[in-house]
Amino acid sequence: MTMKPAILIIDDEEKLRGLLKRIVSLEGYDVTEAGTLSGAQHILASKNTDIVLCDVKLPDGNGVDFVKDIKTAYPHIEVVLLTAYGNIPDGVKAIKNGAFDYLVKGDDNEKIIPVLSQLSTIIAGKKDTLPKERPGGFTYIIGNSKSTKDAIVLAEKVAATDTAVLLTGETGTGKEVFANAIHTTSKRAAKPFVAINCSAFSKELLESELFGHKAGAFTGANKDKKGLIEEANGGTLFLDEIGEMSIDLQPKLLRLLENGTYLRVGDTKEQRADIRIIAATNRTLEDEIATHRFRSDLYYRIAVFNITLSPLLERKDDIPLLAAHYLNTYSKKINKPVTSIAPDAMNMLQQYEWKGNIRELKNTIERAVILEDSNTLTVDSLPIDIQNKKADVSGLSAFHLASVEKLHIQKVLNHTKGNKTEAARLMGIGLATLYRKIEEYRLK
């Protein structure tokens, strides 16, 4: 028998929330509830969730905007918005932000169960399409470019150890996918893989989420709470966007890395944990250290083994494979027979800059499948900004040596986000030489 999806209900009206929970629970769903968005964030970070039923108006935010946060941090979760007073602009924005549906509360009894049934089928279908075996764990990583292959080789080598790993790269380059693959192929594979986005919480909430707390540690701490470190014991803890962690909290993480001990919030008794840390960031941590926003001693502990994931702009050989994968995924999900991509459309996909990287490509293909009326994804289904994008030659001849040098230096500077020391190191030239070239070519 297939297990039904886990559902989180978010509504500040306790009676309505309780009634909806009873209705949904009677259908056999595993239901958790929250009265605020902050409470929901705690649950999403610590408990497996498949579907979120969320009120639009909440004490600490708007459900329509929260949809985008959920889909960014947890792309696999399906969201259904519930509102007492439906309006077209909110409904359009909700769907645009990634919501599966937008329902008026008066229709709950009639419509909510059919919608959940439909989502259950979709979620089960997605699980059925996953490989039944996970040889190497890296079969989920799609790409044929040299940089992707090089990153996989490094990740496969470090996976067999307990060494801390730092994954660096722009947002949307697949850092969590790599972290998951490293865990899956490690000796800790049978134990939990627990992930948390450090940018999603304030210092106090992140401390409580990671380390747990004792009853009475702060207002609202009515009972002892296990932290994610305890949840991950024996397995792997993935700290996404670690560069966003408060510097006041960093010593506690350093202590855990150095001797495997930590303190819950409000506790005096040391706890021990046997976990592997994999961290990720889209920031240049060396720059954060220079501005005293990140501790150098913590950096050296988490960056024992550094793997950099290149932006999609630099691995265009991966685009056809990724596009085909997402085309297959969304044509099945949306139930449309779009089976191929027209050559001119593929050419446009390969020429585009993809500042949002793989995540942007994924969203673009999903949108295009929705719009496409034929069996082949065409140029007309692509966003206007992709259709209108033209190659930037900066007014220089592509065959002129100075032109090539200028474009290369600018590309490397973009890659390092303006970090000139790192750019000079990557290009194998002196820092003074780089500054001279920047002035000569009037680069930004």
Tell me the CATH number at 372. Answer: 1.10.8.60
Q: Is the residue at 426 inside a domain?
A: yes
120 shares its domain with 180: no
Element (H, E) at 340: strand 340-341
Q: Which amino acid is at 437?
A: K
235 shares its domain with 363: no
Q: How far apart are CA 284 and CA 422, in angstroms?
A: 9
Q: Is the residue at 133 inside a domain?
A: no
287 shares its domain with 164: yes
Query: Residue 76: which CATH number?
Result: 3.40.50.2300
Q: Partners of 78 in the beta sheet?
A: 51
Residue 51 is predicted with a pLDDT of 93
Residue 107 is predicted with a pLDDT of 53
230 shares its domain with 263: yes
Decide: 10 and 54 in contact? Cβ < 8 Å.
yes
- The token duo for 430 is 């002196």
Place of tokens 């080789």: 153
Q: Is the residue at 313 inside a domain?
A: no
Q: Is the residue at 94 inside a domain?
A: yes
324 shares its domain with 269: no
Q: How far apart are CA 315 and CA 329, in angstroms?
A: 21
How many domains in the chain?
4
13 shares its domain with 83: yes
Boundary (domain end) residue, out of 263, 282, 308: 308
240 shares its domain with 369: no
- The token duo for 117 is 């049934």
Report which of 254, 279, 91 is spatially closest to residue 199, judged by C-alpha positions. 279
Residue 86 is predicted with a pLDDT of 66
143 shares its domain with 118: no
Against a cut of 0.75, is the pTM above it? Answer: no
Residue 322 is predicted with a pLDDT of 93
Boundary (domain end) residue, out of 276, 308, 340: 308
Place of tokens 């968005």: 37
146 shares its domain with 257: yes
Q: Partners of 9 in the beta sheet?
A: 33, 53
77 shares its domain with 179: no
Q: How far apart are CA 405 and CA 180, in angstroms?
A: 38
Q: How far apart are CA 14 and CA 209, in angstroms?
A: 24
Q: Tell which phi-psi region holds residue 13, choosing left (phi > 0), alpha (psi between -120 and 50) or beta.
A: beta
Q: Is the residue at 297 inside a domain?
A: yes
Q: Is the residue at 303 inside a domain?
A: yes
**Cα 249–chain centre separation:** 22
Decide: 83 and 102 in contact? Cβ < 8 Å.
yes
Place of tokens 């049934």: 117
Query: Residue 186: which CATH number?
Result: 3.40.50.300
Q: Which amino acid is at 428?
A: G
- The token duo for 238 is 């993935």
Q: How far apart are CA 338 and CA 245, in angstroms?
A: 43
**Cα 296–chain centre separation:** 26
Segments of the chain with pLDDT less than 70 = 1-3, 45-46, 86, 106-110, 125-136, 389-404, 444
Q: How far apart are CA 222 and CA 215, in angstroms?
A: 5
In which domain, by residue range, is 423 found?
401-441
Q: How far apart are CA 326 and CA 142, in angstroms?
A: 11
Q: How far apart are CA 437 and CA 442, in angstroms?
A: 8
Q: Is the residue at 393 inside a domain?
A: no
Report which of 325, 396, 310, 384 is spatially closest to residue 352, judged by C-alpha positions. 384
Query: Residue 416: which CATH number?
Result: 1.10.10.60
120 shares its domain with 210: no
Q: Is the residue at 395 inside a domain?
A: no
Residue 401 is predicted with a pLDDT of 57
Boundary (domain end) residue, out of 103, 128, 153: 128
Residue 390 is predicted with a pLDDT of 45
257 shares its domain with 179: yes
Residues whose CB falls within 8 Å of the CB of residue 204, separated by 6 or more in sequence, listed in order: 218
Helices (H), 160-213: 175-184, 203-211
Residues whose CB falls within 8 Å of the CB of residue 200, separated by 6 or more in sequence, listed in order: 41, 45, 69, 73
Place of tokens 């799609």: 142
